[in-house]
Amino acid sequence: MRAPKILVFDSGLGGLTVHDEILRLRPHAHFLYAADDAAFPYGRLSEDLVVARVMNVIARLAEEFAPDIVVIACNTASTLVLPHLRARWPQLPFVGTVPAIKPAAEKSRSRLITILATPGTVARDYTQALIREHASHCQVNLVGSQSLAAIAEAFMRGIAPEVDELARELAPCFVEQAGARTDTVVLACTHYPLLLPHFIQLAGSKVGWPVEFIDPAPAIARRTDHVLSERGFIHAQSGDHGEGAAFFTSGGAPDDALRAILRRYGLPAIRTGQLAFEAA
Ligand code: DGL
């Protein structure tokens, strides 16, 4: 059987954290990694705008790439758009990325958990529903960061994060109440695990105390792998790698430093195409 074609989609480079885990499980697959950098960041957009934009971009990419599966590697989009995508393309499997509230609530001993996400994700009804369903025994602290996604994006483009700024963004994650402390922080934006080594270093030294950070990417990759298996895509035995390309909706060519990073993620080719975004 042929290798599957996997489309991984995010507003920017955060979805690479998910792509990387899928690549480990399915090295023979053909990947198109699509970053909607023309509309980044999604966290500041209205819900209607996110839905309309993602539907447009996926329509174009689905036509061009003909994927066997689409992974929406973005919490800000997944918490809104999955039902719309599934209704429009009923034959195509979609795997989403939504805040890992269930595992956090199961793991936490102090029952004080934080969801660190974009302002969009913390405001979603979907996020509230996950809390009601899986974390009613916990106190859930929702933190919508205005700038972490952009800091992570810049970091991938060679700009080191400023320690004080990161500490300021992380500070609201730490809650102390009646002798208990936050012990689990869900990274509910796919950009944030790009900064995980910084977070681990800061927690307990510059801000708060050591906590467990939950990166959902491995679980999303397992889900993607499982759906592909259900559809008959077996794990190939040969050592060959599939093809990998990155697509940027701005049409802007990545510079050499970013190209080198994309190669490390198994994405040596760049597909150009422009999908202009008018926010107004
Ligand atoms: N990576 C996206 C997420 O998982 C959001 C970043 C943005 O605001 O565009 O939520």
pLDDT of residue 111: 98
Closest to 35 (Cα-Cα) out of 52, 22, 17:
17
User: Is residue 177 in some structural domain?
Assistant: yes
Give the Å distances, CA to CA, from 165 to 89, 180, 203.
42, 26, 13
Distance 267 CA to ligand 1 centre (A): 20
Q: In whole angstroms, give the CA distance from residue 206 to residue 218.
A: 28
Report whether residue 74 contacts ligand 1, using a CB cutoff of 6 Å: yes
pTM of the predicted structure, to 2 decimals = 0.96
CATH of the domain at 155: 3.40.50.1860
The whole-number pLDDT of residue 279 equals 67
On whether both 92 and 221 belong to a single domain, the answer is: yes
Q: What was the pLDDT predicted at 277?
A: 85
Structure tokens at 266: 């198994």
Tens digit of pLDDT for each residue in 219-239? 999 999 999 999 999 998 777
Domain shared by 74 and 111, yes or no:
no
Last residue of some domain: 175, 195, 214? 214
Residue carrying structure tokens 């796919």: 190
49, part of any domain: yes
- The closest of 256, 213, 228 to 31, measured between CA atoms, is 228
Percent with pLDDT over 70 in the chain:
99
For residue 278, being part of any structural domain is answered with no
Cα 186 to averaged position of ligand 1 atoms, centre (Å) = 14
Determine if ligand 1 sits within 6 Å of the CB of residue 78: no
189 is catalytic: yes
Q: Are residues 35 and 49 in the same domain?
A: yes
In this structure, are 153 and 178 located in the same domain?
yes
Among this protein's residues, is 173 annotated catalytic? no
Q: Ligand 1 pocket, 19 CB below 6 A?
A: no
Instruction: Give the domain-ending residue among 166, 186, 214.
Output: 214
**pLDDT reported for residue 255:** 92
Q: Are residues 208 and 226 in the same domain?
A: no
Please tell me which residue in 74, 85, 98, 186 is annotated as part of the active site: 74
- 145 close to ligand 1 (CB < 6 Angstrom): no
The pLDDT of 76-100, averaged and rounded, is 98
Tens digits of residue pLDDT in 10-31: 999 999 999 999 999 999 999 9
Taking residue 119's Cβ as centre, other Cβ atoms within 10 Å add up to 17
Which band of pLDDT confidence, cut at 50, 70 and 90, is reported for residue 273? confident
**Looking at residues 186-190, what average pLDDT do you find?**
98
**Do 252 and 231 lie in a common domain?**
yes
Note whether 119 and 55 are same-domain residues: no
Q: Are residues 190 and 108 part of one domain?
A: yes
Say yes or no: 122 and 207 in one domain.
yes
Residues 225 and 89 in one domain: yes
Same domain, 226 and 207: no
Range of the domain at 123: 101-214
> CB of 190 closer than 6 A to ligand 1?
yes
Is 280 inside a domain boundary?
no
Taking 90 as the threshold, does the pLDDT of residue 252 lie above it?
Answer: no
* Nearest-CA residue for atom 2 of ligand 1: 74
Percent of the chain surpassing pLDDT 90: 92
**Mean per-residue pLDDT of the chain:** 96
- Residue at 10 is within a domain: yes
Angle at 106 between CA 9 and CA 19, to 5 degrees: 20
Query: Is 144 inside a domain boundary?
Result: yes
**Cα 237 to middle of ligand 1, angstroms:** 35
Q: So what's the pLDDT on residue 241?
A: 84
- Provide the β-strand partners of residue 30: 5
Residues 71 and 131 in one domain: no
How many domains does the chain fold into? 2
- The catalytically annotated residue of 54, 142, 170, 189 is 189
pLDDT at 12: 97
CA separation for the pair 140, 117 (Å, rounded): 13
Question: How many Å lie between the centroid of ligand 1 and the Cα of residue 192?
Answer: 9
